[in-house]
Amino acid sequence: MKGGAGPVAEEGGAVELLATERVSATQARALPFRPPRLPRKVAPAELSLADTQAWFFEAVSAPGTLTGGLRALRKASGLPAEAVLTAGPALGAKDRLAVYHFAYRARLVDALADDFPAVRYAMGAAAFQRLADRVITAHPSRHPNLNRYGVVLVEALANAPRLPNRGFLLDLARLEWALVETIHAPAPPRLDPAVLGAIAPEAWGSVRFRPNPALQVLDSAWPVNRFFSAWRRGEEPALPARERSATVVYRVEFTLWRMDLSPLTRGLLGALLAGVPLGEALAPIEGRAGAERVMEWFSAWVRGGFFAGLA
């Protein structure tokens, strides 16, 4: 950014290279998953493999303590842990199950920390752990793919009005979740610059653009991207004061980008993404930015794949 005038074509924004992903990472369009159905009052000798799997799934993913989960399971199915699991050389049936119950919750905490590392830093590790524990208890994972699970933390922050600094933390979480969603979004079509070159000069004013469906524009009352960038550089930024900001999150092949927008560029880009004709979208900034500057912004947006094509 230079002089607060908007994005510079040569800079693009802050960048993350997708060098690593979670082991469970696959496209967000995973096949639907239905948890196995819990057996109802089945005698231990009559347990099928599917019944055993259903019972084990419920026990491992039970919210709260394992003891409470086993109590609820016994009431629902009539099956105590000892009727389903055998004791080992060193551990009884409940203790063996506890290993998996703890590992399940620990894995979900790790997944949330992986998706929201800057939120974890801003909150502090202990406060983030408490929030994650509450989220997991209220919303246990019901899908083998964890790529979509992190949205429950965004929702939890949105519904926690008494949490200190909740507004900033929520917008920071939204930024980090936008990065996760953009990582896993299917690669969209991109506007071919040659198509633009074929447009007659007199027709430019009526041109409309189709937005890239994976593109995300985030408006905030806080400078969340500036905070996130400082944290990514290894600094230890303090929680900022209120300052309105707008950030675009997008992907070029296997690279994520974050681009800050000034109020001027936010208005122009927002109009174009909403399908406003180019001439009408440019009218509010007439006299406030030169044609050369506008072309720099527009070129950066086209190269970044902000538009999937012409409407």
Tens digit of each residue's pLDDT (9 = 90 or more) over 12-45: 567 776 544 444 444 444 445 565 666 666 667 6
- At residue 8 the predicted structure's pLDDT band, cuts being 50, 70 and 90, is very low
Q: Which DSSP string do the residues of 118-134 spell out, in sequence order?
A: HHHHHH-HHHHHHHHHH
- Out of 2.70.50, 3.90.930, 3.40.1000, 3.30.2310, the CATH code matching 14-21+186-310 is 3.90.930
304 neighbors 10 (Cβ within 8 angstroms): no
Of the candidates 298, 256, 207, 253, the one whose C-alpha atom is nearest the C-alpha of residue 8 is 298
pLDDT digits (tens, 9 = 90+) for 280-302: 999 999 888 888 889 899 999 99
Helix 93-115, helix 125-138: angle, nearest 10:
120
Q: Please give the pLDDT value at position 52.
A: 81
Within 10 angstroms of residue 122's Cβ, the number of other Cβ atoms is: 23
What are the residue boundaries of the structural domains of the chain, listed by start? 14-21+186-310, 44-176
Q: Which DSSP string do the residues of 230-258 spell out, in sequence order?
A: HHHTT--PPPPPP--EEEEEEEETTEEEE
**What global pTM score does this model have?**
0.83
**172 membership: H or E segment, kind and range:** helix 166-184
